[in-house]
């Protein structure tokens, strides 16, 4: 193994460290991320209890992963905008609002996915 590949391996490991640091930072500092994680835990518990199929789990995992990822991107955009300007600027407001809108849209889609998967199973339990 050449020293170049060792340096590349070290750089790759460092980049994973930075990514995990970003995840930790978002979980610790963002209220909405905590809410999304709490809801995700509830959904995972319900999915386990209701014995979701493999395909249903795939949709749930995509919804959860997408939601958490999008919340992190929203937080990053908010921080970059705040770093660039402390003053009110319509474009800064637009950037934050658009990112928040993307999160809201994905959250609504995730709720719809959850209803499609869980509602029939819950109705069956009560009949």
pLDDT confidence of residue 14:
93
Question: CA angle at residue 68 from 63 to 69, to 5 degrees?
Answer: 100
39 vs 1 pLDDT, higher one: 39
**Within 13 A of 37's CA, how many CA atoms are on the CB side?**
12
**Within 13 A of 108's CA, how many CA atoms are on the CB side?**
5
Q: In the annotation, is 78 catalytic? A: no
Q: Note whether 74 and 35 are within 8 A (CB).
A: no
Task: Write the pLDDT tens digit of every residue in 13-62.
Answer: 999 999 999 999 999 999 999 999 999 999 999 999 999 999 999 999 99
Which stretches of the chain are DSSP H helices? 3-29, 31-49, 54-84, 90-125
pLDDT confidence of residue 7:
82
This prediction's pTM: 0.87
Catalytic, out of 30, 56, 71, 78: 71
Q: Is pLDDT at 1 greater than 60 in this prediction? A: no
Domains of the chain, residue spans: 30-125
Q: Note whether 99 and 73 are within 8 A (CB).
A: yes
Q: pLDDT band at 6, cuts 50/70/90?
A: confident
Q: Does domain 30-125 have CATH number 1.10.287.3610?
A: yes
Q: pLDDT band at 111, cuts 50/70/90?
A: very high
Q: Is pLDDT at 87 greater than 80 in this prediction? A: yes
Q: Is pLDDT at 102 greater than 80 in this prediction? A: yes
pLDDT confidence of residue 67:
98
């Amino acid at each position: 193994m050449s020293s170049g590949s060792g340096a590349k391996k070290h750089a790759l490991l460092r980049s994973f460290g930075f990514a995990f640091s970003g995840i930790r930072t978002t979980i610790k500092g963002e209220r909405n991320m905590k809410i999304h994680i709490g809801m995700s835990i509830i959904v995972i518990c319900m999915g386990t209890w209701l014995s979701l199929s493999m395909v249903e789990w795939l949709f749930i995992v995509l919804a959860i992963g997408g939601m958490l990822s999008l919340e992190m991107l929203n937080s990053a955009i908010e921080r970059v905008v705040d770093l660039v300007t402390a003053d009110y600027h319509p474009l800064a407001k637009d950037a934050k609002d658009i990112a928040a809108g993307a999160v809201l849209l994905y959250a609504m889609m995730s709720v719809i996915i959850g209803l499609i998967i869980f509602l029939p199973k819950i109705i069956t339990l009560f009949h």
